[in-house]
Amino acid sequence: MLITQLKSKETIEALAQGKTVIINCHGCKEVYFAEHEADELQKDLNGVTQIITTDYICNPDNLKLQLLKHTDVINAADTILVFSCGVGVQTVAAQFEGKRVYSCCDTYPLPGFQGVTPLNVDCGQCGECYLNGTGGICPITACSKSLLNGQCGGAKEGMCEVDKEMECGWERIYRKLEKLNKLDNMKYDAPKVRNYHNPNAEEPTI
Amino acid sequence: MEDYTKFKLKRKEELDAVLADKDDLFVVACNKCFKELDSFDEPECGLFEEIAKEQGKNIVGSAQIDFLCNEPLTSKSFQDLIPQETKNVFVISCGLGIQTIAGMAEIPVYAASDSVIVDGYHGMALTTTLCEACGQCYLNLTGGICPVVDCSKSLLNGQCGGAKNGKCEVDKEMDCGWQLIYDRMAKQGRLQELLDQPVELRDYSKVNHKFVSEYVKSVREERYEGYYGGIHPTEFKELSEHISLVRFPDPVNVVIPMSQHAGAPAEPIVEVGQQVKMGQKIAQAVGFISSAIHASVSGTVVAVEPRLHPISGLDSLAIVIQSDGKNTLDDSVKPAGELDKLSADEIIEIVREKGVVGMGGAGFPTAVKLKSPKPIELVLLNACECEPILTADHRVLLEFADEVIYGLKAMMKASGAPKGVIAIEDNKLDAVELLQAKTADIENIEIVVAKTKYPQGAEKMLIKRVMGKQVPSGGLPMDVGAIVCNVSTAKAVSDAIQLGMPLVERVVTVSGNRMNKPGNYLIKIGTSVKDIVNHCGDVIGDDVTVKIGGPMMGFAQANLNVPMLKCSNGIIAVETTVKEAVECIKCGRCADVCPMELRPLYFTKYALSEDWEGMKTQNTMDCIECGCCEYICSSKIPIVERIKIGKTAIREGK
């Protein structure tokens, strides 16, 4: 899941050079888009010839269709400013290879994949699910260091030493295993080494 | 097309090892997402079950669930699913689904699958474009090609030097990202700009846990506030919310259709050539669910004939009255006396006789609602006005607050409800303040402020939000002891009792960003939409859609020579949407927003294959046609249209 934050006003002002077309994407807005802040900011920009607000610009076919009636004004523009996630900006840039296409947002990840409401759990897509030994709590995403073999020792009162706002993932795993009466997992399971390349990965069989 | 399916079954050796000391298994599989929707039941749990059975394991059951990571929906279907004798749950899903189930189940949960590695995040379309979500977008420096994703080493300051013939040295199948960037910048004549850039350093600390976790918390709270799902389209209420009500100039002719309410059309009781007075009954109710209709002007009946109806789009019987411009009142228009002295049945009779129907859109006869066969504990006045653009109810609250409260009291008395609530969304705080002040001394009337979220004003959602009760599938609000009425209806009830005036005019918002002069008007029933649009300076541009009602559930009008009805709360002019439906990619957003907790993606498929049984098993009839799914659909599928096809087929007994 992705969210976007507006870049600073000065940065965006510096990007708007010459005739400028603005494209806002509200496709994932239900999740997050700084709609009103963007509106206000866009009012103060110089040289704006058109503001286009649409959705799902990450879909190149849809983007083409939505921009069709603005073809002339886009062709005449010097700059296209895009207010969307990084996927949207790249899609617009690929569609107008000869134009200066600029991103006005920074994109951050949220737990969960696209589509559903952001989750409380996250998946690092590591390719070799470790959840079996950890009571269903992911050591890759719940531990700030993505440790696979237990606590680093730096946690204080259950909170992570890297980010004190974050609970220690391995402490959570311990508590969960305790509850499931599976603490033996931690004692006797063989040490794990993360395989970043995963050469044994088979093609999907399901 | 890319396929973002995010998991595959673990290797057999690994599964064998995990299974070794476990028995009595329940298998849960997620039906995958972000792939072209060929069949619903993917993946096959068969392979895993085979491996388990080979080891002599007892499988107590299995289930396939859509969007396993959608925790509110999954927890509902999962609760009763697992048999008592289950000792271990195996999940075939990406890591999100497995963790979601692990968070719910009291017994151990195991992963039978690995998540497939995709570096970076994709958008809502099945394309190869990815974003690493690094939090410090570099695209402005690189001509719109991402150095983090498109360079295998995520270099920020140019080529590593290892590329050969434009191909990456790490992965020879991959184009060198920095070569692509160089070519793009050369094409744009920006090479010097590229060379002049200062050295970039990636700041990995940009994404902090607190920011993300607080953000997730707030999104989840908003999403599930009051009821599951819903959306928040841009409101555009600022176009007209501040504009005071104006009485619309009297029309020369009014066209009053006989079908302005749910139920049987009314039957005319006047003839061509007859003189009628304002407020005079001109058509009578036919049957229990029907409503009387009254003249909205005084003058001469010039026609009783079929005219174009704004909702059905067909010609249907209407009475046309030419106004004499005098608005002479009919003798029947006189106050009914003190509310205290009227009995419940007398109030209901007045409401019936004065032709009051639900003015929020459906037009259900109010008297029928009030005469509930079940005990009513709450009259819920719906002032949410959750549709974007519309501000009619907002103005009614501000300018007719006393009438609204009077109407609520009358309806409480008529239905025997001990309590009344006026529910207002938090984008109308001035109305909230006013109503709170005016009801401060009334013990049994409460103002509830609901978070702005569409479709808050749908009665089933509102009941859930205010009462915390769920109207049963196929049921009515009275099944949970509630009557839900629009605020304009309350005002009409007040007018019917206090003035004796039947429902002959209503408040209408004329707005939208393509309406020249937006405003809020008191409009006579039967006034031509065309006259109103002309009066408001016509629409702007030629790519405009005019709708009666709001943008979400309103009815688009190709021909503006149609009359305003009792239940028409707005005329809006909006930019015509251009869209082309493509295949469903199972992104799951429709299921994420459906306030009735349905899975609209099934309807799109079943309508095309005419699978009416499938429609029934997915509870199509529960759909309230709010349009959230269609609004959010990343494939632009006309979902509501397909749902209506299914509903019609089911009603016809197919």
Which of B51, B90, B124 would you mutate first to test chain A, the one with the most A CBs within 10 A? Answer: B124
Contact A206 B113 (CB under 8 A): yes
The percent of chain A in helix, strand and coil, each rounded to the nearest 5, is 35, 15, 50
d(CA B145, CA B355): 64
Q: Record the tokens describing residue B341, joined without a space.
A: 């002295």
Residues of A in contact with B96 (CB under 8 A): 112-113, 119, 121-123
pLDDT-derived band of residue B81, with 50, 70 and 90 as boundaries? confident
**Amino acid identity, position B646:** G
Of A62, A129, A203, the CB nearest to B636: A62
Query: Which of A88, A99, A117 comes nearest B219 by C-beta?
Result: A117
pLDDT digits (tens, 9 = 90+) for B275-288: 999 999 999 999 99
B188/A100 CB distance under 8 A: yes
B163 touches chain A (CB under 8 A): no
Gap between the Cα atoms of B21 and B10, Å rounded: 17
> So what's the pLDDT on residue B441?
94
Q: Is the model's pLDDT at B639 over the cut of 70?
A: yes
Give, in degrees to the nearest 5, the angle at Cα B597 between B426 and B456: 20
Residues of B in contact with A201 (CB under 8 A): 8, 114, 117
Query: Which of B:130-149 have CB within 8 Å of A?
Result: 130-137, 139-140, 143-146
* Residue A197 forms part of a structural domain: no
Token code pair at residue B469: 């009760």
Domain membership flag for residue A149: no
Q: How far is CA A201 from CA A148, A190, A196, B9, B109, in A?
A: 19, 20, 11, 10, 23
Distance between the two ends of chain A, CA-based, in angstroms?
Answer: 25
DSSP B558: S
pLDDT of residue A206: 44
B301 in Cβ contact with B276 (< 8 Å)? yes
Among B44, B135, B223, beta carbon nearest to A206:
B44
Backbone angles phi, psi at A188, to 5 degrees: -110, -15
How far apart, in whole angstroms, are the C-alpha atoms of residue B11 and residue B245?
70
End-to-end CA distance of chain B: 36
Chain B nearest-CA distance from A122, in A, is 6
Of A114, A120, A137, which has the smallest distance from its Cβ to B122's Cβ?
A114
Element (H, E) at A176: helix A169-180
Q: CA-CA distances (angstroms) from residue B623 to B276, B553, B554, B648?
A: 42, 13, 16, 13
pLDDT score of B44 more than 70: no
Residues 6+ apart with CB under 8 A from B110: A131, A132, B18, B22, B88, B89, B90, B91
CB contact under 8 A, A106 and B10: no
Contact present, A28 and A113 (Cβ < 8 Å): no
| Per-residue model confidence (pLDDT) at position B39 | 67
Interface test with B, best of A65, A125, A159 (most B CBs within 10 A): A125
Which residues on chain A are in Cβ contact (under 8 Å) with B92?
206
Within B8-45, where are the H helices?
Answer: 12-19
Separation in Å, CA of A22 to nearest CA in chain B? 14
| pLDDT at residue B41, rounded to an integer | 63
User: What kind and span of H or E run contains A79?
Assistant: strand A79-83
Contact assignment for A102 to B121 by CB distance below 8 Å: no
> Is some CB atom of chain A closer than 8 A to the CB atom of B424?
no
Judging by DSSP bridges, how do beta strands B419-425 and B378-383 pair with one another? parallel
B197 DSSP 8-state letter: P
CB contact under 8 A, B100 and A119: yes
At residue B37, the pLDDT reads 73
- Ranges of chain A whose pLDDT falls below 50: 199-201, 203-206
CB contact under 8 Å between A113 and B96, yes or no, is yes
Looking at residue A104, what is its pLDDT? 93
For residue B175, with 0-12 CB atoms within 10 Å meaning exposed, 13-18 middle and 19 or more buried, which class applies?
middle
Q: Which DSSP category does B470 fall into?
A: -
Least CB-CB distance to A204: which of B116, B215, B223? Answer: B116
Distance separating alpha carbons of residues B575 and B542, to the nearest angstrom: 9
Confirm whether A65 is domain-assigned. Answer: yes
Residue A175 domain-assigned (yes or no):
no
Strand partners for B317: B306
- The answer for residues whose C-beta is within 8 angstroms of residue B185's C-beta and 6 or more apart is B142, B143, B191, B193, B194
Q: Scanning the structure block, which residue is given the tokens 């411009």?
A: B325
CA distance A112 to chain B (A): 7
Answer whether residue A158 is part of any domain: no
∠ Cα B221 B223 B227 (to 5°): 100
Residue with the two structure tokens 């859109």: B361
Instruction: Give the B window 549-578 contacts with A, CB below 8 Å.
Output: 578
pLDDT for the residue numbered A143:
94
Q: What is the distance between the alpha carbons of residues A192 and B8, in angstroms, rounded to a whole number?
A: 20
CA-based nearest distance B540→chain A, Å: 16
Per residue in B547-572, pLDDT (tens digit) is 999 999 999 999 999 999 999 999 99
- Nearest-CA distance from B549 to chain A in Å? 22
Cβ atoms of residues B115 and A129 within 8 Å: yes
* DSSP reduced 3-state for B369: helix
Which of B76-85, B131-140, B629-638 has the highest mean predicted lDDT (pLDDT)?
A: B629-638
User: Quick one: pLDDT at residue A197?
Assistant: 63
What is the share, in percent, of chain B residues with pLDDT greater than 90? Answer: 78
Interface test mutation site (partner A, options B101, B114, B629, max chain A beta carbons within 10 A): B114
| Inter-chain CB proximity B47 and A205 less than 8 Å | yes
Instruction: Dump pLDDT digits (tens) for B233-257.
Output: 999 999 999 999 999 999 999 999 9
Residue environment code for B505-515, b if the CB has 16+ CB neighbours within 10 A, otherwise e = bbbbbbbbebb
Q: What is the mean pLDDT of residues B259-275?
A: 95
Q: Is the pLDDT of residue B211 over 90?
A: no
Rounded CA-CA distance B356/B131 in Å is 56
As for how many domains chain A has, the answer is: 1
Give me the domain span that covers residue A10.
Answer: 3-133
Task: Please answer yes or no on whether B103 and A136 come within 8 Å at the CB atom.
Answer: yes
**B234 interface with A at CB cutoff 8 Å:** yes
How confident is residue B78, by pLDDT bands cut at 50, 70 and 90? confident
Concatenated DSSP letters of B141-158: GTTT--HHHHSTT--SSS
> Which pLDDT score, from 0 to 100, does residue B367 have?
95
SS3 B486: strand
Q: Which of A98, A129, A180 sits opposite B108 (nearest CB)?
A: A180
State residue B281's pLDDT score. 96
A102 Cα to chain B: minimum distance (Å) = 5
Number of Cβ within 10 Å of residue B399's Cβ equals: 17
Q: Please judge whether A92 and B210 are an interchain contact, meaning their C-beta atoms are less than 8 angstroms apart.
A: no
Residue B395 to residue B512: CA distance in whole angstroms: 16
CB distance A56–B122 less than 8 Å?
Answer: no
> What is the reported pLDDT for B192?
95
What pLDDT sits at residue B316? 95
Q: Which of A86, A32, A141 is nearest to B219 (CA)?
A: A32
Q: What is the pLDDT of residues B507-533, one digit of tens each?
A: 999 999 999 999 999 999 999 999 999
Q: Does B118 touch chain A (CB under 8 A)?
A: yes
Token pair 């960037």: residue: B181
Candidate from B7-11, B450-454, B494-498 with smallest mean pLDDT: B7-11
Q: Sort out which chain B residues have CB atoms less than 8 A from A118's CB and list them.
A: 215-216, 219-220
Cβ of B99 within 8 Å of Cβ of A135? The answer is no
In A, which residues are within 8 Å of B122 by CB distance? 58, 87, 114
Question: How far apart (Å, rounded) are the C-alpha atoms in residues B604 and B602?
Answer: 5
Backbone region of residue B282 per phi and psi (left: phi > 0; alpha: psi in -120 to 50; beta: other values)? alpha
pTM of the model: 0.90
- The residue with tokens 């749902």 is B643
Q: For A32-59, write each residue's pLDDT tens digit.
A: 667 888 989 999 999 999 999 999 999 9
Tell me, what's the pLDDT at A35?
Answer: 82
pLDDT at A129: 87
**Which chain B residue's Cα is nearest to A132?**
B110
- Pick among A6, A35, A50, A131 to test the B interface (most B CBs inside 10 A): A131
* Model pLDDT, residue B45: 77
Is it the case that residue B432 has pLDDT exceeding 80? yes
Question: Residue B117: is its pLDDT beyond 70?
Answer: yes
pLDDT at B2: 67
Res A205: pLDDT? 46
In a domain, A53, yes or no: yes
Calpha distance B133→B433 (Å, rounded): 43
The answer to whether position A189 is within a domain reads no
Shortest distance, CA A2 to any CA of chain B (angstroms):
7
Give CA–CA dist B255/B319, Å, rounded.
6
CATH code for the domain in which residue A69 is found: 3.40.50
Whether the Cβ atoms of residue B433 and residue B465 lie closer than 8 Å to each other: no
Question: Which of B28, B69, B134, B232 should be substituted to probe chain A, the one whose Cβ sees the most A Cβ atoms within 10 Å?
Answer: B69
- Which residues of chain B have a CB within 8 Å of the CB of A43? none
CA distance A131 to chain B (A): 6
Which residue do the tokens 């995709």 mark?
B118
Instruction: Identify which of B8, B111, B578 has the shortest CB distance to residue A131.
Output: B111
| Class of residue B411 by CB neighbours under 10 A (exposed 0-12, middle 13-18, buried 19+) | buried
| In-domain check, residue A72 | yes
Interface-testing mutation among B121, B585, B590, with chain A (most A C-beta atoms within 10 A): B121
From CA B434, how far away is CA A31, in angstroms rounded?
A: 33
| Helical (H) or strand (E) element with B71 | helix B71-79
Tokens of B602: 């099934």
Counting one residue from chain A and one from chain B, the pairs whose CB atoms sit within 8 A come to 289
Please state the length of chain A.
206
The overall average pLDDT reported for chain B is: 92
At residue B106, the pLDDT reads: 86
Give kind and range of the element (H or E) at residue B631.
helix B628-632
How far B295 CA lies from chain A's nearest CA (Å)?
44
| Chain A environment of B118 (Cβ under 8 Å) | 125
